[in-house]
Amino acid sequence: MLKNFLVLFSALFIFNYCISQEDSSKLDLANCALELTHQKVVYDPSYFSIPYPNGDVPENKGVCTDVVIRAYRKTGIDLQKEVHEDMKANFKLYPKLWGLKSTDKNIDHRRVPNLMTFFSRKGITKSITNNGADYQPGDVVSWNLGNGLTHIGIVSPVKSKDNKRYLIVHNIGAGQVLEDCLFDFQISGHYSY
């Protein structure tokens, strides 16, 4: 009986430790995203030839995906490398919206549909709801803006004025900013990675 209790207690301890580690990692990501809002960035969707791995476009330029890439990089995760390696091994599973016949390590990770595919394959796909409380700091959210346009951002640790949801760190044209925009567009994806 004591042995069964100890096994159950150990399992619960390990489960709770893993959950708290995941929450801590997500909060780290949310805080890293928040730090990015202090950096002046001009919206620039240009194609750049960048080093690999750990390549980045010029630090004063970027788009929505660069917010996600830079925040993860601050936590030690190189999405350029991770997405490239998964696309290289599983190219047929990724969107074919750009007419490419093979991977391009300069741009693949900078495309929202590719990040959505990567997060759904390698992370946790979470429910899309109309409840702000379901979107927690460190979650990644993507939106469909219409006319084939997509967008992506990170849920921050900062609450909205009405305290009903967390604000989003994103770049939709005004640089890397913190805004209350979770439900401003049609949500197309909700992930944890």
pLDDT tens, residue by residue, 153-188: 999 999 999 999 999 999 999 999 999 999 999 999
State the average pLDDT for the chain: 91
Least reliable range by pLDDT among 12-21, 69-78, 182-191: 12-21
Rg (CA), the chain: 18
pLDDT digits 0-9 by tens, 77-126: 999 999 999 999 999 999 999 998 999 999 999 999 999 999 999 999 99
CATH number of the domain encompassing residue 46: 3.90.1720.10
Collect all residues with Cβ–Cβ distance below 8 Å to 10 and sequence separation of at least 6. none
Cα–Cα distance, 148 to 186 (Å, whole number) = 12
Total number of domains constituting the chain: 1
18: containing domain: 2-192
Of 110, 41, 48, whose CA–CA distance to 80 is shortest? 110
Confidence at 5, pLDDT banded by 50, 70, 90: very low
The pTM score is 0.88
Of 88, 72, 80, 87, the residue nearest 56 (C-alpha):
80
52-61 average pLDDT score = 98
Percent above pLDDT 90 for the chain: 87
